[in-house]
Amino acid sequence: MDLAQKRHFDAVVLCNSIPAHLRENMARELKELKPNLPLVMICTADEKSQFRSLADEVVIAEHGVSQPLIEALSKLAGEPED
């Protein structure tokens, strides 16, 4: 949270390696601190509904999360879809 206060970021990605309750708290605090900061949350399919209201984009952690994460960040950056 200190870094979010002191620095500019184009987006924040909260990974599913952080326990769900901590990701939820971090997301709420980030949105309170910087409401316009795009937030991408990586989660399991079971957690998707829990995080949908907090995140700008939700990426389901599957075997290959790289491509969906890149697509989510591209969407937030306003890049056109292929």
CATH number at residue 6: 3.40.50.20
Q: Using one digit for the tens of pLDDT, what is the confidence trace for 45-73?
A: 889 899 999 999 888 887 666 677 778 88
Residue 81 inside a domain? The answer is no
Count of the separate structural domains present in the chain:
1
Residue 82 pLDDT level (bands cut at 50, 70, 90): low
Residue 67 inside a domain? The answer is yes
Residue 22 inside a domain? The answer is yes
From the list 62, 32, 30, the residue with the least C-alpha distance to 71 is 62
Residue 35 inside a domain? The answer is yes
State the pTM of this model. 0.77
Residue 7 inside a domain? The answer is yes
Asked whether 69 and 38 are in contact (CB, 8 A), the reply is: no
Classified as helix, coil or strand, 81 is coil
Range of the domain at 29: 2-76
